[in-house]
A = this chain, B = another copy of it.
C-alpha cells in the first residue's frame, strides 16, 4: 500500500498562521470499500478562504477542528475504483484537501478531459477562482463600457481575471497589487490599463491619478488600507462585489476607533452605493456560461493566466502562509504527485 501524507490542522492560528499550526501525518493509504474510489491527489489549490476555515468564527462553511485534514480543491487521479461511474486512470476535480490519497463515494467529483485544457486549470482560471471573478463582476459589478473597474490582489487568481473581463466588457481596468513586479505583470502581460502598488506610501494619490473619472466598480477581496484608498474615490451608483477580506483574515482584535461604520453608511446613502457579499456557489447556475465564455476568451488570447507552482505537499503550509502575505504571483498550486 502506498503511504498517505496528510496535513492536519494542529492548532487554530492566532493571527498569522505559523508552521506549527500544521502537522504532517503519515499513514497507509486507505482501501476503497463497495462503491468507493481511491483517489491520488495530483494538484492541490491553495486559496485565501482556507484561513477562515481554520478559525472558529461563524461563516458560510463549517470550521475545521484541530486534527482535521485541511480542506481544499484538488485534481485527482482515480487509482482504484469500486464505483461503476469511475475507472482507474480517470482524472477528476474534487475537494479532497491537503492529502495525497483519499476515498470518495463519487459525490461531488467531476471528470476532467485532459485533452481540453491543462487539468490544473480546473482549480484556477477555469475553476473556482475564475468563476468567482466572472460571476461577481458580471452579476454584481455589472461594468459598463467606459466605466472604471478597480480590483485589488490584481495579480492573483481572482483579481487577474476580474480585470481582464472588465476590459473585455469595455471598461477601464485598474489593478492594485503588492510590488513593482506584480504591477508590471498586470499591465504588461494582462493588459490592465493601470496598476497601483499598495505598498506605496502615496497609495491614495496614486490611485486617484490612475482613476481620473473615479471608480464605478470596486471588486473587493482585500479590505484594510486598500479599501481606505478606494472608498473616497467611489462614484455615485458604484457597485462593490465583496468576496474576500484577506487583509483582515489574521486580525486578532476589533480595530480601534474612530468607528467608521456610520460614515460608511452615510456615503452608501448619499452616493447610492451597492455592496453585496457573495461566494462562488451563490451563482452556481452561471457555471455553463462561465465555462463557455472563459474558455473562448482564453482561446482568443483575451484572458491570460499564470500559475505559481509549489512542488510537494509538505511545502503547502509555507506556501499558504506566503499566500496570505502576497508572496505568490498568479494562481497558487501545489503539485502533489
Contact = CB atoms under 8 A, between A and B. Distances in A.
A272 to B, nearest CB: 5
Contacts of A275: 268, 273-276
Given A266-B248, A279-B272, A260 B258 contact: no
Interface string A220-262: 1001000100000000110000111100100100111111111
A273 B272 contact: no
Contacts of A185: none
Q: How large is the interface on A (under 10, 10 to 19, 20 to 34, 35 or more residues)?
A: 35 or more
A59 interface: yes
Nearest to A271: B277
Contact of A258 (B220, B223, B256): B256
Contacts of A272: 60, 276-279, 282
A270 interface: yes
Contact of A265 (B245, B271, B274, B278): B245
Given A258-B255, A268-B242, A277 B282 contact: no
Given A245-B269, A268-B277, A259 B256 contact: yes
A58 interface: yes
A263 interface: yes
B266 A264 contact: no
B223 A270 contact: no
B269 A259 contact: no
A158 to B, nearest CB: 13
A277 B257 CA distance: 24
Contacts of A223: 262, 265
A251 B261 CA distance: 13
A97 to B, nearest CB: 21
Contacts of A264: 261, 264
Interface in A99-140: none
Interface string A38-61: 000000000000001000001110
A254 to B, nearest CB: 4
A276 B265 CA distance: 10
Contacts of A257: 254-259
29 contacts: A60-B236, A220-B265, A223-B265, A227-B265, A242-B269, A245-B265, A245-B266, A248-B265, A248-B266, A251-B262, A254-B258, A254-B260, A254-B263, A255-B257, A255-B262, A256-B258, A257-B257, A258-B259, A259-B260, A260-B260, A261-B261, A268-B277, A270-B277, A272-B276, A272-B277, A272-B278, A272-B279, A274-B276, A275-B276
Given A242-B268, A260-B260, A273-B277, 20 more contacts: A52-B270, A58-B270, A60-B271, A60-B272, A220-B265, A223-B265, A244-B269, A248-B262, A248-B266, A255-B259, A256-B259, A260-B261, A261-B261, A268-B275, A268-B277, A269-B277, A272-B277, A273-B275, A274-B277, A275-B275
